[in-house]
Amino acid sequence: MVAIPSRHKSLALLGGVLLAQVLLLAVQIKKDSRGRLIRVWAVSAASPFERGGAWGFGKVRGVWDHYFALRTTSRENEALRVENDALKLTIAQLQAKAAEADRLAAILSFKEAHASAPMLAARVIAVSAGTESRTIEIDRGERDGVTRNMGVITPDGAVGKVIAVYRDTSQVLLLTDKEGGAGAMLMNTRTQGPVGGTGEPTMVMKYVATEDEVKVGEQIVTSGMDKIFPRDIPVGTVLEVKNGNPFKQIRVQPAAKLDRLETVIVLLSQAPVDFPKDADSQNPQTGAQNSSATAPTAEKP
């Protein structure tokens, strides 16, 4: 007697036989250039799980990296912050040294460019202790040939005059001091008038008649009439002009950076010192803004 298999058995057998033949087909068939069909099927079937696995692994790794693995981050952050501060300090020191080197190079270049005019480079070693006076102290004195009323400049322009001389140091009265000043004139019109300090960062130009034409931004240079500065050394630029009676009220922006002096030049004589003419002085607006920008050009021979 032959046993008749159950229907479930038959279905299982059917499924198994069909699957075996499908695989047999897959092993034989090559699909285009993608290899055997079974490989294409296998890759197609596995790739969703692989992608899902990669996505899940990436998520788990992201959670781990961004949440659980942050235990040492605080310490690392603190160490990096300290290191960052140290690096910032180092950078600041290097920048200061680079700036000083630039200044010294500018002074040297200026001196070499004016070899015929005896001058002496000096380092600013102190500034006035009070707010009532605007003076600086330089490291050159009698032993270096410095005397009273010698002009002091930078490659940017006039700074002031020597008012006291000691053995190894001297005191310089800045143009911006209430007692400071220099004989000056408008560069374009050659209108003369003394420029003096007010105790403020800016200066005033006096005794310019109301009818004289003065443009904001116009450059002002020394006139040489004060017997301290030679002619045509930049003093500043016109910052503001108001009509008055009988003279204009002219506010002047100093050409030299008087609040940031570190190295200056002491003029040992009244010999002329040639400053290149600033082309921008023809343009009042830009001339006012770029008055200090004339310095680099002044350094060039």
Partner 1 sequence: MNETYELRAGETHIEVHKFYPGAILIVAAAALVLQASMPVYVPNLSILDLPLLVTIYFGLSRRNPSTGLLLGTAIGLAQDALSGPTVPLGFYGIAKTVIGFLASSIGAKLDTEHPAARFALIFGFFVLHQAILVLVRRLLLAQPEPWFNVHLAIAAGVNAVVGTVMFVGLDRLRRNS
- The total of other beta-carbon atoms located within 10 Å of residue 208's CB is 24
Which is closer to partner 1, CB of 41 or CB of 247? Answer: 41
The size of the interface with partner 1 (CB under 8 A), counted in residues, is: 20
* Token pair recorded at residue 12: 């299982």
* Token pair recorded at residue 260: 């940031």
For the bound state, the minimum distance from the C-beta of residue 52 to partner 1, rounded and expressed in Å, comes to 24
What is the contact mask toward partner 1 in residues 19 to 58, using x (rule: CB under 8 A)? --xx-xxx-xx-x-----x---------------------
Q: Determine the Cα–Cα distance for residues 301 and 296; give it in Å rounded to an integer.
A: 11
Which is closer to partner 1, CB of 5 or CB of 301? Answer: 5
Residue-wise burial string across 178-194, b where 16 or more C-beta atoms lie within 10 A, e elsewhere: eebbbbbbbbeeebebb
CA nearest neighbour of 237 among 158, 296, 291, 282: 291
For the bound state, the minimum distance from the C-beta of residue 21 to partner 1, rounded and expressed in Å, comes to 4
CA nearest neighbour of 274 among 102, 115, 106, 108: 115
For the bound state, the minimum distance from the C-beta of residue 49 to partner 1, rounded and expressed in Å, comes to 21
Q: Name, in order, each residue with C-beta under 8 angstroms of 27's C-beta and a sequence gap of 6 or more.
A: 36, 37, 38
Which is closer to partner 1, CB of 29 or CB of 108? Answer: 29
For the bound state, the minimum distance from the C-beta of residue 46 to partner 1, rounded and expressed in Å, comes to 18
Which is closer to partner 1, CB of 2 or CB of 115? Answer: 2
For the bound state, the minimum distance from the C-beta of residue 53 to partner 1, rounded and expressed in Å, comes to 27
Q: Residues in the site for partner 1, rule: CB under 8 A? A: 1-2, 4-5, 7, 9-10, 13-14, 17-18, 21-22, 24-26, 28-29, 31, 37
